[in-house]
Each structure stands twice: as structure tokens, then as C-alpha cells.
A and B are shown apart, each in its own frame.
Chain A
Amino acid sequence: AQTVTQSQPEMSVQEAETVTLSCTYDTSENNYYLFWYKQPPSRQMILVIRQEAYKQQNATENRFSVNFQKAAKSFSLKISDSQLGDTAMYFCAFMNYGGSQGNLIFGKGTKLSVKP
């Protein structure tokens, strides 16, 4: 069974600085997707970034980028130029590429606080 581990329950960063959230996962599959979701106090799940395991290039979305290390099964999220609106829970998630119906397996989350 796949597992996702986020070892940082809480983190804080000063506005405009950079922060990295850690995520490791365990799977025997070769093809899969990895995601970072943001959940603000409204509790809406917002997709931040996704990575296909077969792609070596790290995904980037504006201020958000990932460091995907497939051999190490590591998938960290870097937030540059942090903004107050980035304050939220961040969940790392795993999804099998094929042979499944597409359910996500979530880590326990990291609560990020951006301080002015």
C-alpha cells in the first residue's frame, strides 16, 4: 500500500522569504502522480502543483516549484516570495497512474504560517 509522509506538522516563514515543505512517499509503482494541495481556513482544496512520475523535469507554477527525487521517493514544495495569502494547510498527495480509479492518498499535512 502506498503511504505519504509529511514530517513537518507546522512551519512559519516571513513574508517575501522562501520556505520548503517536505514530503516522502512509499510505493512499488513506477508510474504515478504527485500533488500538493493547499487548504486555507475556508477548507476548499486547491491544487497547487502536480508532477507526473515519468517526467524528470521538476514542475513549476509561478512561485511554487517542486524538487522531485524519484529514487529517494521525495517530493518537496518550495514557495518563493511567500505571501500572507499562502497561509494554509498544505497536503502532499499520491495517485496511481493506471489500474486504479484515481483516488488520492494524502499526507497528514503541514500548517504553514506566513508572518508579516
Chain B
Amino acid sequence: GAVVSQHPSWVICKSGTSVKIECRSLDFQATTMFWYRQFPKQSLMLMATSNEGSKATYEQGVEKDKFLINHASLTLSTLTVTSAHPEDSSFYICSARERVTPLHFGNGTRLTVT
């Protein structure tokens, strides 16, 4: 079945550095990918919608200069957390849509900023 691979699964970085998270659709083409953020014991909140070949659409309150999204091909979207701070520590999950449904989720990335 369709699989979405997300890498890395966990990362620890120092405050002020940048971190890149990759989301790949392994056996289907995904013109649209979605990035979610999940704080402990909370639900998933949509951060942005990533469109292949065009600029991402960010949800209200999400800083586009801080969370850079690039969707350079039909199988890869990247989320870069720039100048990370401890408050950016969270669980980040990507998803990709194959046709209308279903949405396939990556395994998530646990980011810890020290």
C-alpha cells in the first residue's frame, strides 16, 4: 500500500540552529502534502499545505519565515525549522494525499531544541 516516509524520526538540536525534516511519498505522486504539529497530549494542528512547484499555504499564526516549506518534486516535501528555539520543540507530522482519500501519514518527527 501507499507509504509516506518521514525523516528523521527524532532530532535534538541546539537553540539557534536549523533543522530540516523530509517527507517522501514512496509509491505514489503527491501534488499536495500537509504539515501538522502536535503538542503533548493535544491534537494535530495544520501548519501549512505544501504544493508541488508553488509556494506553500500557511495557516494563520504560523510564521512562514520560521517554518520554510519546499515541495520540489511530486514525491518530496521538506520542512525547515529555522533558528529553532525551545518553544519549537514538538512533534511534526506530514501527510500526503493519494487521489481524494485516504490521507497517508508519515511516522512523525520528534524535535527537541535545547
Residues of A bordering B, CB below 8 Å:
33, 35, 42-45, 47, 50, 91, 95, 97, 101-109
Contact = CB atoms under 8 A, between A and B. Distances in A.
Contact of A44 (B32, B45, B107): B107
Interface string B75-114: 0000000000000000101010100111101011010000
A106 B44 contact: yes
4 tightest A-B contacts by CB? A45-B105, A102-B97, A106-B43, A101-B32
Contacts of B107: 42-44
B67 interface: no
Contacts of B102: 35, 47, 50
B46 interface: yes
B103 A109 contact: no
Interface string B44-64: 111001010000000000000
Contacts of A47: 102-103
Contact of B32 (A35, A42, A95, A102): A102
Contacts of B46: 103-105
A35 B95 CA distance: 15
A50 B101 contact: yes
Nearest to B109: A43
